[in-house]
């Protein structure tokens, strides 16, 4: 199992920008897909999008297209999820994970994002 | 709104068996591998079953998976209090070109 370490909890105001990270300290993303999953309070898992480490090919789920940006820095073995203007409805736990054949086989510990005025 | 439907909750006494269904369609479950995840309270999800019926290293054989047509099933035998968690199915949807998760099922050990 691959270890993925996510950045810490964030508290932001509506309209703020934010970039959270997911690092694989002991492995290279270069031949893997990394995905992001949203879990709103008390709700289920939602597939947000994925990025291929080798060439940064990125695919977004329709609900998240245009709402977030997924990127990666292979030299740092780190994937990112960012917002340019947060809304209260972005309050959620966000998980990253390594994907193999549409299966998340390793998960980060999660990053709590709270957006409140 | 998820395209994969699971029962909201199932329950059984310790030592008993529970099954969790995951109902989809020809474009997702019927056409692709299904995986199952366990999410303990306050924790990140964890892979339990992949490729319909395979267990990752370290997952006890009390957990099993199967698939038939447009539905998949997770079985848990010898239920333990430590199995109390939310369980999600997941797969790829060929029509949506997107990954999808089930609605989630809460398992309660009575």
What CA–CA distance (Å, rounded) separates B12 from B14? 7
Q: What is the pLDDT of residues A57-82, one digit of tens each?
A: 999 999 999 999 999 998 899 999 99
Q: What is the pLDDT of residues B71-99, one digit of tens each?
A: 999 999 999 999 999 999 999 999 999 99
Tokens (6 digits) for B7: 């029962």
Residues in chain B whose Cβ is within 8 Å of chain A:
2, 32-33, 35, 37, 39, 44-47, 50-51, 56, 86, 88, 90-92, 96-104
pLDDT the model gives residue A101: 87
A52 touches chain B (CB under 8 A): no
Which of A35, A45, A108 has its CB closest to that of B88? A45
What CA–CA distance (Å, rounded) separates A1 from B1? 30
Q: How many CA atoms within 13 Å lie on the side-chain side of A51? A: 21
Whether A107 and B44 lie within 8 Å, measured CB to CB: yes
For residue B101, list chain A residues with Cβ-Cβ distance below 8 A. Answer: 37, 44-47
Whether A107 and B92 lie within 8 Å, measured CB to CB: no
Beta bridge partners of A103: A100
pLDDT range class, residue B1, cuts 50, 70, 90: low
């Amino acid at each position: 199992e691959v270890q993925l370490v996510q950045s810490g909890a964030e508290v932001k105001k509506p309209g703020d920008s934010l970039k959270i990270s997911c690092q694989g300290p002991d492995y290279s993303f270069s031949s893997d897909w990394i995905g992001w999953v949203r879990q709103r309070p008390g709700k289920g898992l939602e597939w947000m999008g994925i990025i291929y480490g080798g060439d940064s090919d990125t695919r977004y789920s329709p609900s998240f297209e245009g709402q977030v940006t997924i990127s990666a820095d292979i030299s740092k073995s780190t994937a990112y999820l960012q917002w340019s203007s947060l809304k209260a409805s972005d309050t959620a736990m966000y998980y990253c994970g390594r994907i193999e054949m549409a299966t998340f086989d390793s998960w980060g510990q999660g990053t709590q994002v709270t957006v409140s005025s | 709104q998820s395209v994969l439907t699971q029962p909201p909750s199932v329950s059984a006494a310790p030592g008993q068996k529970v099954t969790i269904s995951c109902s989809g369609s020809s474009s997702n479950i019927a056409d692709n591998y299904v995986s199952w995840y366990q999410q303990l309270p306050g924790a990140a999800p964890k892979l339990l079953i992949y490729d319909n019926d395979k267990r990752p290293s370290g997952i006890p054989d009390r957990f099993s998976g199967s698939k038939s047509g447009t539905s998949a099933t997770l079985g848990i035998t010898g239920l333990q209090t430590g199995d109390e968690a939310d369980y999600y199915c997941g797969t790829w949807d060929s029509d949506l070109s997107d990954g999808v998760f089930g609605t989630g099922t809460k398992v309660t050990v009575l």
